[in-house]
Amino acid sequence: MSNRRRLSNLLITKRCFASQQHHHTSRFAKPTKKASSHEPTTTHKVTRKPWEELPFLTDLKETENPEEALSLFHHYQEMGFRHDYPSYSSLIYKLAKSRNFDAVDQVLRLIRHRNVRCRESLFMALIQHYGKAGSVDKAVDVFLKMSSFDCVRTIQSLNTLINVLVDNSELEKAKSFFDGAKEMRLRPNSVSFNILIKGFLEKCDWEAACKVFDEMLQMEVQPSVVTYNSLIGFLCRNDDLPKAKSLFEDMIQKRIRPNHVTFGLLMKGLCCKGEYNEAKKLMFDMEYRGCKPGLVNYGVLLSDLCKRGKIDEAKILLGEMKKRRIKPDVVIYNILVNHLCAEGRAPEAYRTLTEMQMKGCKPNAATYRMMVDGFCRIGDFDSGLNVLNAMLASRHSPTPATFVCMVAGLIKGGNLEHACFVLEVMGKKNLSFGSGDWQNLLCDLCIIKDGGACCEALSEVIST
C-alpha cells in the first residue's frame, strides 16, 4: 500500500473525527432563530460506517508485516482516531495469525486499561492460535483471564480449550478442566464429551473412552452421530466389527440417524475383512435408512478394488457414480490415478487426469506428483516433463525425489537441455539432492558427450 494512499485515509479519518466533534459541540450552541412549529425539523444523525469501510481496518487488511500493523494502529491513534473493539480484535487476529504473541500481549494490556469489552470469540481464536503454536500454558492463561476483560465464559470457550489440550497431548489436563466445569457454572454438552472421547481413542484407551461415554449418558447428555462415529471407527480400525455393528444398532434404537460417514466406517471394516460384496450391499441399503450414499462411501469401495488390483472394476464403479449423478472429486480420481500409475499404466492414468479436468475437477499437488512419478516409472520422461510443466504452472511443486528421478531419466535419455531446466527449477526452489543422488548423476554425465552445461547446473544445485 502506498504512503500517499495511507496519508489520504488518515486525513479522511481526521476529518470524520473533527466533524463528529463539531457536531457534538454545536448541539449545545445557542440557536440564532427560533424554529417555527410549522417548519419541518431536521436532525443530523451521525451514522457510523461499517467496519469494513473504516480506513484503519482497510489499511490493516492490506498490511502484511505484523510490526507495521501495530505501528499503523498507534499512528491512527495519534491522528485522533478512537479505536474500539473492531480495531482491537482485527489487530489481535492479525498478530496472532503471524504468531507475534508479544505484540498480542501488548494490545491486550491496552484493552484492559481502556476497559474495552471483548467478545468471547476473540479469546476462543487466541486459544486456538496458541494451541497451534504449541503454547498450551498461554492458551490456559487466556482462558483463565477472560473474566478480567469483562467477558463471560461459556461452554464454547471451555470446549475450545479442552480441544487444544487434547490436540497437544495434554489429555489429563483436558480432563481436569472438563471435571472443573461445574465449579465454573458450566454444563458440558455433547461436544465436550466428544472431544474427550476422541482424545482417549487417539491414545488407544478404549476403556477410558467408554467411561466418558457412560458418564455422558448418566448426565443425560444426548450422544450425537459424531460420538458414535468415533467409537465405531475405532472398533473397525481395530478389527472388532461385531462390537461396531452392536453400537450401530444402539444408535438406531436411540433414534440417532447414522450419516454417510457412519456407513463408510462400517464399509471400510467389512472391506478390511475381505467382505467387499457385503460392504457394497450396505452402501445400497443406506438409502432405505434415509441416507444417500456419498463420495466417502464410493471412495471406500474404489480403494478396496484398486488395492486388490481390480482397477477395471473400479472404473466401472466410477461409471456407476456418474449414472447416479454423484460427481467424483479430486480424492476419488486420485485413488484411480495412483493405482494406475503403480501398475505401470501411466498413459491411462493421464487420460483419467484429462477427464477430471474436462469435468471441471482441478488436479491437486498429489495428482501431479503421482503422474510425474508414474511416467518416470515407465521411462517416459518427456511425458513426465510435460506434466511437470503443468504442475509448475498450477503453482504446485514436486518432491525432491521426483526431481532427482526426472533429471536422471532425462540425462540417460540424452535430453540435457531439459535436464538443465529441471535443475534450474530445483535451484530456484532451494531443493537439494540426497547424499548419493548427485554422485550417481555425475557418473551418468561422465559417459555422455557435451554434459558440461548440465554438470554446471548440477553443481549449482549441489552448492545450494
- For the stretch 366-400, pLDDT in tens is 999 999 999 999 999 889 999 999 998 888 888 88
Number of neighbouring beta carbons within 10 Å of residue 209: 21
- Intervals of the chain under pLDDT 70: 1-54, 56-66, 70, 75, 77-80, 431-464
- CA 423, CA 441: separation in Å to the nearest integer? 11
Number of neighbouring beta carbons within 10 Å of residue 359: 11
Q: What distances in angstroms separate CA 324 from CA 21, 264, 295, one per listed residue? A: 65, 18, 12
In the three-class reduction of DSSP (H, G, I as helix; E, B as strand; rest coil), residue 132 is classed as helix
- Reported pTM: 0.76
Are residues 438 and 462 in contact, defined by beta-carbon separation less than 8 angstroms? yes
Cell 548440477 belongs to 458
Amino acid at 411: I
pLDDT (0 to 100) of residue 387: 92
Cell 550417481 belongs to 440
Number of neighbouring beta carbons within 10 Å of residue 316: 11
CA 24, 25, 26 angle in degrees (round to 5)? Answer: 95
Which helix (H) or strand (E) is 321 found in, with range? helix 311-323
- Output DSSP code: residue 99: T
Cell 470446549 belongs to 159
pLDDT (0 to 100) of residue 111: 82
Closest CA to 127 of 61, 84, 177: 177
- CA 50, CA 147: separation in Å to the nearest integer? 28
- CA 457, CA 78: separation in Å to the nearest integer? 54
pLDDT (0 to 100) of residue 25: 38
pLDDT (0 to 100) of residue 72: 72
In the three-class reduction of DSSP (H, G, I as helix; E, B as strand; rest coil), residue 369 is classed as helix
pLDDT (0 to 100) of residue 63: 65
Residues in the chain: 464
- CA 348, CA 27: separation in Å to the nearest integer? 79
pLDDT (0 to 100) of residue 66: 67
- CA 107, CA 73: separation in Å to the nearest integer? 10
